[in-house]
Amino acid sequence: MDFRFTEIEEEIRKLAAEVSQKYLLKIRGKLDEAEEYPEEFIRETGRTGLLSVYLPEEYEGMGLGVTALCIVMEEISKVCTGASTVYGANALGAMPIMLSGTDEQKKKYLPKIARGECLVAFGFTEANAGSDALAMQMKAVKDGDAYVFNGSKVFITNAGHANLYTVFAVTNPNRGARGISAFLIEKGTPGFDFGKKEDKLGIRCSETRSLEFNNCRIPAENLLGGKEGLGAITALNTLHRARMGVGAQGVGLAQGAFNEALKYAKQRKQFGQSIVAFQVIQHKFADMAMKIETARLLVYRAAWEADQNPKGAVAKLGSMAKCYGSDIAIEVAIEAIQICGGIGYMRDFPVEKYMRDAKILQIYEGTNEMQRNEIASVLLKESNK
Ligand SMILES: Cc1cc2nc3c(=O)[nH]c(=O)nc-3n(C[C@H](O)[C@H](O)[C@H](O)COP(=O)(O)OP(=O)(O)OC[C@H]3O[C@@H](n4cnc5c(N)ncnc54)[C@H](O)[C@@H]3O)c2cc1C
């Protein structure tokens, strides 16, 4: 057992930290306030190769797997979880191509995604199919050499900014989950548009919109994997891995909030001494540090498993990493505000944003209630073996 990152992973970690400090630290408050997309930051993640860390080498990626994806997600989230959401949603959109695409589809899109020339989004959720996502209703109806789409997907991160959309739709309503297929849909396709920008509590520099389809014709060659019925398995295999990235966002966010609170507690004086000298405050830091370290171990344990076993079942560890990482993120962020007292509650102090950003981690990529359902269901299956 070796708990250290490899040399290359450590280089990636430093690079992600540098890019986040340089392109986000000073402007994260402004981006949040103005709900402004982190354009320059994302361009830089493309230029430096950070967008390619988890993609296979044969498609111009670095081939460093889910572990490297988590490392980058953790480092960005220390500074701004809105920006790590933009970064992570791109991976969420690209993973289905990596896991289920045909050779032609991989060759066509993955190198461009690796270079940052093509940003991707993941269109899965519908207004009436959120937690119960496989009950989706939007149909893709075969018509000659195309599929015709009518309907919408809601709450899609990076909608409008992404050039490519991995969209899931029903191709055979009689087959339940096996009747769902995935498609690659390019921005600018006639009949494909975006809804209004959602006004959110946190992660405000990431953009969330609906995808609107109105008699939109998608060439049959854009059916992911070239076969109908692969949508549900593709989505689940993707989410089981991508959720580790959400856990990593939780770890990074919690670490960022911890660091800000510690810096403040050392310099804030009350009763003639800095507040960090009070044992009550020290115990808060001890508890926060234990939570962060436990979540970090779980996230990288899960990522290691996913990388050992690229096609294997990692649902339980993915759900555990996501659920625990996001639960401690909000706990730590709230405690960080408490340590900073009144100033911690103010918008021009960097701590309250961590709390607002933390909440979404318990909701997107499947709520934490659904993660607990998933963990329990695998545990029960394992106990019957
Ligand atoms: C900012 C943001 C960004 C997002 N980005 C994307 C994206 O890029 N792509 C995408 O496809 N989707 C995206 N989503 C959608 C997201 O994944 C869903 O919102 C989420 O899965 C929850 O679905 P819902 O909102 O419909 O909640 P609901 O399913 O309506 O759930 C409401 C409540 O009921 C609980 N609940 C429901 N069923 C059960 C059950 N069986 N057992 C216990 N509790 C249950 C839930 O846990 C929750 O507390 C995003 C959402 C947001 C808010």
* Coil/strand/helix, residue 102: coil
Give the pLDDT score at 357.
98
Q: Is the CB of 86 under 6 A from ligand 1?
A: no
**Average pLDDT of 265-286?**
98
Identify whether residues 213 and 246 lie together within a single domain.
no
Convert 249-283 into a string of H (helix), E (strand) and C (coil).
Answer: HHHHHHHHHHHHHHHHHHHCEECCEEHHHCHHHHH
Identify whether residues 252 and 379 lie together within a single domain.
yes
Q: Is the CB of 208 under 6 A from ligand 1?
A: yes
Identify whether residues 342 and 364 lie together within a single domain.
yes
Identify whether residues 210 and 287 lie together within a single domain.
no
Domain end marker among 195, 214, 231: 231
With a CB cutoff of 8 Å and minimum separation 6, the contacts of 347 are 29, 33, 353
Which pairing describes strands 192-194 and 208-219: parallel, antiparallel, or unpaired?
Answer: antiparallel
Structure tokens that stand for 272 in this block:
């003639």
Q: Which domain holds residue 333?
A: 233-383
- Could you give the percent of the chain with pLDDT greater than 70? 100
Please state the φ and ψ torsions of residue 74, each to the nearest 5 degrees. Answer: -65, -45
Identify whether residues 294 and 317 lie together within a single domain.
yes
Contact 180, 168 (CB under 8 A): yes
Identify whether residues 219 and 246 lie together within a single domain.
no
Q: Is residue 167 part of a domain?
A: yes
- pLDDT bracket for residue 79 (50, 70, 90): very high
CATH code assigned at 18: 1.10.540.10
pLDDT in tens, 216-249: 999 999 999 999 999 999 999 999 999 999 999 9
Using the mean position of ligand 1's atoms as its centre, give its distance from the Cα of residue 342 in Å. 33
CATH code assigned at 219: 2.40.110.10
Structure tokens that stand for 282 in this block:
């020290």
Angle of helix 7-20 relative to helix 65-79, nearest 10 degrees? Answer: 30
Contact 110, 94 (CB under 8 A): yes
Contact 267, 89 (CB under 8 A): no
Question: Does position 312 have pLDDT exceeding 90, yes or no?
Answer: no
Closest residue by Cα to residue 11 from 46, 62, 58: 62
Active-site annotation, residues: 365
Identify whether residues 169 and 288 lie together within a single domain.
no
Per-chain mean pLDDT for the chain: 98
Q: Is the CB of 89 under 6 A from ligand 1?
A: yes
Q: Is residue 285 part of a domain?
A: yes
pLDDT in tens, 171-212: 999 999 999 999 999 999 999 999 999 999 999 999 999 999
What residues does 209 pair with on adjacent strands? 156
Among the residue ranges 56-60, 73-77, 271-275, 308-312, the one predicted with the least confidence is 308-312
Identify whether residues 41 and 124 lie together within a single domain.
no
Ligand 1 atom closest to the CA of 153, numbered from 1 = 11
Using the mean position of ligand 1's atoms as its centre, give its distance from the Cα of residue 371 in Å. 11
Q: Is the CB of 183 under 6 A from ligand 1?
A: no
Q: Is the CB of 136 under 6 A from ligand 1?
A: no
Does the pTM of the predicted model rise above 0.95? yes
Ligand 1 atom closest to the CA of 198, numbered from 1 = 1
Q: Is residue 2 part of a domain?
A: no
**Average pLDDT of 23-39?**
98
Q: Is the CB of 369 under 6 A from ligand 1?
A: yes
Give the pLDDT score at 310.
85
**Average pLDDT of 70-98?**
98
Q: How far is CA 355 from CA 53, 116, 268, 333, 337, in A?
A: 28, 30, 21, 5, 8
Closest residue by Cα to residue 127 from 161, 154, 160, 87: 154
Q: Is residue 31 part of a domain?
A: yes
Identify whether residues 110 and 139 lie together within a single domain.
no
Using the mean position of ligand 1's atoms as its centre, give its distance from the Cα of residue 370 in Å. 9
Give the pLDDT score at 126.
98
- pLDDT bracket for residue 109 (50, 70, 90): very high
Q: Is residue 1 part of a domain?
A: no
- pLDDT bracket for residue 139 (50, 70, 90): very high
Convert 25-85 into a string of H (helix), E (strand) and C (coil).
Answer: HCCHHHHHHHCCCCHHHHHHHHHCCHHHCCCCHHHCCCCCHHHHHHHHHHHHHHHCHHHHH
Identify whether residues 206 and 306 lie together within a single domain.
no
Domain end marker among 114, 130, 151: 114
Residue ranges of alpha helices (H) inside the chain are 7-20, 28-34, 39-47, 65-79, 81-100, 103-114, 231-267, 279-308, 315-344, 351-359, 368-383
Tell whether the torsion through CA atoms of 180, 184, 187 and 189 is positive or negative: negative
Identify whether residues 188 and 142 lie together within a single domain.
yes
Question: Does position 311 have pLDDT exceeding 90, yes or no?
Answer: no
Identify whether residues 259 and 371 lie together within a single domain.
yes
pLDDT in tens, 61-78: 999 999 999 999 999 999
Longest CA–CA span in the chain (Å) reads 79
Give the pLDDT score at 200.
98
Question: Does position 350 have pLDDT exceeding 90, yes or no?
Answer: yes
How far apart CA 225 and CA 104 sit, in angstroms, is 10
Domain end marker among 194, 209, 231: 231
Using the mean position of ligand 1's atoms as its centre, give its distance from the Cα of residue 45 in Å. 28
Task: Give the closest residue (by CA) to ligand 1 atom 30.
Answer: 130
CATH code assigned at 312: 1.20.140.10
Give the up-direction half-sphere exposure of residue 64: CA atoms within 13 A in the CB hemisphere: 22
Total of domains in the chain: 3
Q: Is residue 175 part of a domain?
A: yes
